């Protein structure tokens, strides 16, 4: 049993708190490119699985579901009501894997119920105050964060 969510990370700067000498004028270097990468993530009590995607589409979502099925074999997955979670491609995937894959939806507009939402906070913190020139550079920092199980928030027992 797990929960799934997706997030978008870009090259535009995330400015967080910093420090500077009193009386000085801090200068922030930024990258003004509007490029971004999407991350599909799923969380269980013991694991966090993620995949990068260029866009949040049904096709990318079903690729991610296939990855989950290869890793977890039998899956009960809770998802939000995002547009990529509904449609013919998703329905076809679920029909083909109905014995090993179940998809359930959270109530609409209830991100606080989804434990995967909390995994994006450490990732945004890892990208904060950095000048990222390319998407692979952003992916490097995101991978480092997501692969560190101790850095991710605790999984609460409310599902």
Residue 54 within any structural domain of the chain: yes
Q: Rounded to an integer, what distance in angstroms lies between the CA atom of residue 40 and that of residue 43?
A: 10
Pairing of strands 101-105, 48-53: unpaired
Residue 124 within any structural domain of the chain: yes
> Quick one: pLDDT band at residue 109, thresholds 50, 70, 90?
confident
How many CA atoms are closer than 13 Å to the CA of 48, on its beta-carbon side? 26
Pairing of strands 75-79, 101-105: parallel
> Quick one: pLDDT band at residue 157, thresholds 50, 70, 90?
low
Residue 147 within any structural domain of the chain: yes
Lowest mean pLDDT among 29-43, 83-97, 134-148: 29-43
Count of domains for the chain: 1
Residue 158 within any structural domain of the chain: no
Residue 112 within any structural domain of the chain: yes
Q: Rounded to an integer, what distance in angstroms lies between the CA atom of residue 139 and that of residue 53?
A: 11
Q: Rounded to an integer, what distance in angstroms lies between the CA atom of residue 155 and that of residue 138?
A: 25
> Quick one: pLDDT band at residue 113, thresholds 50, 70, 90?
confident
Query: What does each C-alpha distance from 51 to 61, 100, 153 come to in angstroms?
Result: 10, 21, 19
Residue 106 within any structural domain of the chain: yes
Which helix (H) or strand (E) element contains residue 10? strand 2-10
Residue 69 within any structural domain of the chain: yes
Give residue 80's domain range.
Answer: 2-14+29-151
Residue 21 within any structural domain of the chain: no
Query: What does each C-alpha distance from 133 to 9, 13, 34, 87, 144 come to in angstroms?
Result: 13, 10, 11, 35, 17
> Quick one: pLDDT band at residue 90, thresholds 50, 70, 90?
very high
Given a cut of 60, whether residue 133 has pLDDT beyond it is: yes
Q: What is the pLDDT of residue 156?
A: 63
Give 35-89 pLDDT, tens digit per residue.
899 999 999 888 899 999 999 999 999 999 999 999 998 999 999 999 999 999 9
**Domain of 109: which CATH number?**
3.30.420.10
């Amino acid at each position: 049993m797990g929960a799934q969510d997706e997030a978008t990370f870009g090259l535009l700067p995330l400015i967080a708190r910093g420090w500077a000498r009193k009386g000085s004028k801090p200068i922030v270097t930024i990258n003004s490119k509007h490029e971004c990468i999407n991350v599909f993530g799923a969380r269980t009590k013991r694991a966090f699985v993620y995949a990068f995607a260029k866009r949040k589409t049904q096709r990318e979502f079903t690729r991610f579901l296939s990855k989950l099925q290869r890793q977890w074999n039998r899956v009960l997955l809770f998802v939000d009501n995002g547009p990529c979670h509904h449609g013919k491609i998703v329905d076809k995937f679920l029909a083909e894997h109905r014995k090993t894959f179940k998809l359930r939806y959270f109530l609409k507009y209830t991100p606080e119920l989804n434990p995967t939402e909390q995994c994006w906070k450490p990732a945004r913190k890892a990208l904060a105050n950095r000048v990222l020139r390319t998407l692979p550079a952003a992916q490097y920092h995101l991978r480092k964060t997501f692969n560190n199980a101790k850095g991710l928030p605790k999984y609460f027992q409310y599902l």
